[in-house]
A and B are shown apart, each in its own frame.
Chain A
Amino acid sequence: MAKIPRPKDFYAGLLFVGFGVLAIIIARNYPLGTAARMGPGYFPRLLGILLIVLGAALSLTALRGQGPPLPGWKWRPVSIVLLSVVAFGLVLTHAGLVLSTIGLIIVASTASREFRLRESVISGILLAALSVGVFVIGLKLQLPIWPGSG
């Protein structure tokens, strides 16, 4: 296959087409209604079609001209950053704010190439104290501080 001149636009276009197709498939059973009395399916389908048209047009224009290549994809920062926060959200109710915070800070810090364990532990403890002070005592958010207290 020949190289695509503007890969960023090309794949962005495909992404939009994908979202459009997905929207139409999911919305296939929503009542369409008429133009005067639109049902819940009318607007979503309209947007779905629009997305497909725009995405396709974008991909087609990307077959001409010149553009930068796709940047590389590094799984390490993406997965560590996102999963550490998800884990934080999942354990917060059970483990309490203090332990979850220290855990999040240490795990998230490993995403950086300059990771230093000692530093992250200290930073985690300080931030745990700060967030208890600001969010639980100051702003009175309903967050458990210790395991079992929520």
Chain B
Amino acid sequence: MDVFGHLALGFGVALTPINLVYALVGVLVGTLIGVLPGIGPVATIAMLLPTTYGLQPVSALIMLAGIYYGAQYGGSTTSILINMPGETSSAVTCLDGHQMALKGEAGAALAVAALGSFFAGCVATVMIAAFSPPLSAVALKFGPAEYCSLMVLGLIGAVVLAHGTLLKAIAMVVLGLLLGIVGTDVNSGMARFAFDIPELIDGIGVVAVAMGLFGFAEIVSNLESTEKRAIVAAKVKGLWLTGKQLRQAAPAVLRGTALGSVLGLLPGGGAMLASFAAYTVEKKVAKDPSRFGKGAIEGVAGPESANNAGAQTSFIPLLTLGIPENAVMALMVGAMTIHNIQPGPQVMTSNPSLFWGLVASMWVGNLMLVVLNLPMIGIWIKLLQVPYRLLYPAILLFCGIGVYSTNNASFDVVMTAIFGFLGVIFVKLECEPAPLLLGFVLGPLMEENLRRAMLLSRGDPTVFLTRPISLAMLIVAAGLLLLIILPNFRKTRAAAFQEET
């Protein structure tokens, strides 16, 4: 089947009434949490994951994916109207978006963000459809050694592109791997790190880890901060663009889409990285860079297109290789696993209606977002006026219900609280939780492939270096590490020189 045949199959699945409803629920919830600062897609997906047990796998994935890209639309609204990022991936949109709002161009800023996102979403959907089959064909030829090296590359890449200290991020990955192998060892049947607690024999739940580290820790830090949220919503009028604005924004949308699509593919990439990179590029290519920060429409169009494109193309490594590249994708692994789907290249062949249904639903979801969002902006603004003191207990409640219903047991709630406590410590020590979550979901897979590779090579570790694909991936990983170490090295040296003089 060609791309169009596949997409036709996908639309057949995505356009069934029940899946349309779940796509709508997903994008609406996504927009809602995107608009609200203080709760992100990771915590939300973790919260809703347990409620999808009863659904068809494809409906569950359609809804959860909708939350992620829906959040990209919602985040820009908050950035533009109240100069505060609803999502981290919309942080740069504040710079010019809010300035536009102050100049009375809020309508144009919102329109360009939504239309740019829609265009990017369409392109990214086609990219997923075009690139996934060849990539998964390659991945099907991978042996355990290649898989192991691929995971190393994925994890290193995720760490390099994350901000913060490199050593810390790598250590977080390793800690994640360690937490991931808690439970019964598949080869020997031995329970590891379970302390004779029956619930731990099945391993730690991904929901508990994600919700604790991302949801609870975030609430606690918000409560500690003394910053007051000033809500000064700018007036919105005329949700449309003038001809001049359109001409200025169109090339930025194209550049943002291209950049976002590529960055979404990289480990550690996705929406956030894409939007920051796109803003930098727009500023570089602009004839008059001084306009930026004062309400340049390109500064909204580029990043907003890029974050949506990146959010969607980050599904490609997950769906074709089975390797999640950011925290949201790590949760999607969890979602697929609870529905007994092992993410990886075989999904496309063994479960084509799920794969193509999900891809097609992204386009459908984007269309819903652009149609619904602009008229609904008034409602979102009202929601923004709900004070945090009313909001966070409600978030806690939904977290509590979500975790409890994972197994209908109090144990998971206690586990989440433990990870919440750990998460608060990580915030204090500036340790990013995303690498830990990636390591966590990859832990068992990595151990399994390492064992198999070493078994096949009769215990010879050079197998990772003698197989060309594996070697190439390790070289790229090492190159990435060097890339980040070198500038650091130079900076440290520069600082040392300064002290001497």
Residues of A at the B interface (CB closer than 8 Å) are 8-9, 11-13, 15-16, 19, 23, 26-27, 30-31, 34-40, 42-44, 47-48, 50-51, 54-55, 57-58, 61, 65, 70-71, 73-74, 77-78, 81-86, 88-90, 92-93, 97, 101, 104-105, 108-109, 111-112, 114-116, 119-120, 123-124, 127, 131, 135, 139-143
Which of A9, A44, A77, A105 sits near B192, CB closer than 8 Å?
Answer: A44
Contact of B400 among A23, A89, A93 (CB under 8 A): A89
Q: Does B178 contact A23, Cβ atoms closer than 8 Å?
A: yes
**Residues of B contacting A141 in the complex (Cβ-Cβ under 8 angstroms):** 51, 401, 405
Interchain CA distance A48-B414 in the complex, whole Å: 25
Query: B5 to chain A: closest CB distance in Å?
Result: 35
Contacts A37-B455, A86-B414: A101 and B397 contacting too (C-beta < 8 A)?
yes
Contacts A19-B175, A23-B178, A127-B397 given; does A85 touch B417 at CB 8 Å: yes
Cα(A82)–Cα(B430), bound, Å: 20
Closest B residue by C-beta to A9:
B165
Taking A50-B174, A73-B428, A85-B399 as contacts, is the C-beta distance between A123 and B458 under 8 angstroms? Answer: no
Answer whether residue B410 sits at the interface, using C-beta atoms and an 8 A cutoff: yes
Alpha-carbon distance between A52 and B400 when the two chains are bound, in angstroms: 34
Minimal Cβ-Cβ distance residue in A for B172: A16
CB-nearest residue of chain A to B211: A85
Q: How far is the CA of A109 from the CA of B397 in the complex (A)?
A: 11
Q: Which residue of the partner chain, among A8, A31, A131, contacts B397 with CB atoms under 8 Å?
A: A131
CA distance A17 to B51 in the complex (A): 37
Q: A14's closest neighbor in chain B, by CB?
A: B429
B188 at the interface (CB under 8 A from A): yes
Interface stretch of the complex, out of B72-80, B217-225, B279-287, B330-338: B217-225
Cβ-defined partner of A35 (8 Å) among B177, B399, B421, B461:
B461
Q: A15-B429, A36-B459, A89-B403 provided; 12 other pairs, C-beta below 8 A?
A: A9-B167, A9-B168, A44-B181, A51-B178, A58-B165, A81-B219, A85-B400, A85-B416, A89-B404, A112-B392, A142-B405, A143-B408
A142 to B192 CA separation, bound complex (whole angstroms): 31
* A104 & B397 in contact (Cβ 8 Å cutoff): yes
Contact between chains at A51 and B492 (CB < 8 Å): no
Decide: B167 and A61 in contact? CB cutoff 8 A. yes
Closest to B178 in A: A47
Contact B193 A44 (CB under 8 A): yes
* A40 / chain B contacts, CB cutoff of 8 Å: 185, 187-188, 190, 192
B411 CB → nearest A CB, Å: 8
**Cβ distance B373 to chain A, nearest Cβ, rounded Å:** 23
State whether A71 touches B450 (Cβ < 8 A). Answer: no
CA distance A61 to B56 in the complex (A): 50
Query: Quick check: A108 and B392 within 8 Å, CB to CB?
Result: yes
Chain B residues within 8 Å of A78, by CB: 220, 421, 424
Of all chain B residues, the one with the shortest Cβ separation from A76 is B223
Given contacts A43-B447, A88-B413, A123-B390, contact A54 B421 (CB under 8 A): no
Mark each residue of chain B from 390 to 433: 1 if its CB lies under 8 Å from any CB of chain A, else 0: 10111011111101110010101110110011001100111100
In the bound complex, what is the Cα–Cα distance between A37 and B388 (angstroms)? Answer: 54
Which B residues from 348 to 393 make CB contacts under 8 A with A? 387-390, 392-393
* Complex: chain B residue closest to A122, CB-CB: B390
Q: Which residue of B lies closest to A66 (CB)?
A: B495
Q: Contact between B216 and A85 (Cβ–Cβ < 8 Å)?
A: yes
| Docked complex Cα distance between A55 and B405 (Å) | 36
Contact A104 B450 (CB under 8 A): no
Distance (whole angstroms) from the CB of B214 to the closest CB of chain A? 14
> What is the chain A residue whose CB lies nearest that of B431?
A12
- Cα A105 to Cα B451 in complex, Å, equals 48
Residues in chain B near residue A43, CB distance under 8 A: 181, 447, 450-451
User: Are B167 and A48 touching (Cβ within 8 A)?
Assistant: no
Asked if B393 and A109 sit within 8 Å, CB to CB, the answer is yes
- B408 near A142: Cβ-Cβ < 8 Å: yes
- Write the nearest CB–CB distance from B196 to chain A, whole angstroms: 12
Assembled-state Cα–Cα distance A51/B264 (Å): 29
Say which residue of A34, A55, A92, A127 sits within 8 Å of B459 (CB atoms).
Answer: A34
Nearest A-chain residue to B459, judged by Cβ? A36
CB distance from B389 to the nearest CB of A (A): 4
